Amino acid sequence: ADKAEAVLAMLVDDSENAFAVLAVKELGGSARTVAAVNDADHLSRIKLVQPDIVIAPQVLGGELLAMLLSGEEISADFVLQRVFQEEQTDFGESGKS
């Protein structure tokens, strides 16, 4: 991981994803980190380990279903913002340096 360009932590267990991000950061390389969040209750905890990108596909699925059922309009910008759980400055980029 210390030589990787990016490390994706996409396991089912959110705590394992957080641990993977921490391990990559401890190695001190320049790899960008992506962490999946499978349980919305864990989102704030995952953000504490400061991955470069947080992706929450199951959280998004629930939100989209609720929006569809209530007749709300769904835009591409909304979907991108919710998939990556961040403010978009560029496609998938969090604006971190």
pLDDT tens per residue, range 74-91: 888 888 877 766 543 333
pLDDT in tens, 62-72: 888 999 999 99
Q: Specify the pLDDT at position 20.
A: 96
Q: Specify the pLDDT at position 48.
A: 95
Task: Give, as one character, the DSSP assignment of residue 33.
Answer: E
Q: Is residue 9 predicted with pLDDT exceeding 70? A: yes
| CA gap 67, 56 in Å, rounded | 17
Q: Specify the pLDDT at position 79.
A: 83
Measuring CA to CA, how many Å separate 41 from each of 44, 71, 97? 7, 26, 28
In the three-class reduction of DSSP (H, G, I as helix; E, B as strand; rest coil), residue 90 is classed as strand
pLDDT in tens, 28-49: 888 999 999 999 899 899 999 9
Task: Give, as one character, the DSSP assignment of residue 16.
Answer: H
| CA gap 76, 20 in Å, rounded | 30
Q: Specify the pLDDT at position 11.
A: 95
Q: How many angstroms separate the first and last alpha carbons of the chain? A: 19
